[in-house]
Amino acid sequence: MSVPTALVSEPAAQPEPASEAPAKVERAPLRDLLPTGTLRVAVAVASVALIAGSFARYGFSGTALVGVVFCPALVLLAVIDMKHRLLPNAIVLPASLAVGLIVAVSTPGDFLAHFLAGLALGGFFFAFAAIFPGSLGMGDAKLGFLLGLALGAKTLGATLIAFAGLLVAALYILATRGASARKDSVPFGPFLALGGVLAFFLG
């Protein structure tokens, strides 16, 4: 009589293979996540334009050098997040290190403020993700730290722009696809990237 009980318990373990997919994506080599074809060209063109714009806006300064690293990284992360729902550490962490070093060397008096802004935004996203599972990911928290580190006092403006963009996108999806789209996930990375770029140039 114990045999049927064992047979009944086995299907409960069946969903496990499905959970392997995110892990495989998480461990995917960076080269497999990078854009290809026309999209790669578009990313390259946008990055060059933003680098030129950074020097045009701030001259040859530490802030301009921050933009040289920060803006192309945001463009690339936005494209990857839109396609793969992933913000790779292989891009976020080196960009954060480079931006931190540039800020520390070029404006050492401002480094602490920038660092604390990064901790504040990254910590907020981390706490939000912990309280509301599935809302944000750890990649968003790390990207939040990069934004704060690069933007300092402009971080709040970038965050507001990002949330405003996300709200507009969510309302558009609901209006065009109906209530059935309420459970659809919308990547936050592209909106953080948009907020970061706009705050960098306009703030």
Confidence at residue 59, expressed as pLDDT on a 0 to 100 scale? 95
Alpha-carbon Rg of the chain, whole angstroms? 20
The tokens describing 54, both together, are 């950074």
Report residue 183's pLDDT band, with 50, 70 and 90 as the boundaries: low
What does the pLDDT look like over 78-126, one tens digit per residue?
Answer: 999 999 999 999 999 999 999 999 999 999 999 999 999 999 999 999 9
What does the pLDDT look like over 124-182, one tens digit per residue?
Answer: 999 998 998 877 889 999 999 999 999 999 999 999 999 999 999 888 888 887 766 66
Sign of CA dihedral 53, 55, 56, 61: positive
Alpha-carbon gap, residue 178 to 9, rounded angstroms: 38
Task: Give this prediction's pTM.
Answer: 0.82
Report residue 12's pLDDT band, with 50, 70 and 90 as the boundaries: very low
Confidence at residue 181, expressed as pLDDT on a 0 to 100 scale? 62
Rounded to a whole number of angstroms, the distance between the first and last alpha carbons of the chain is 72
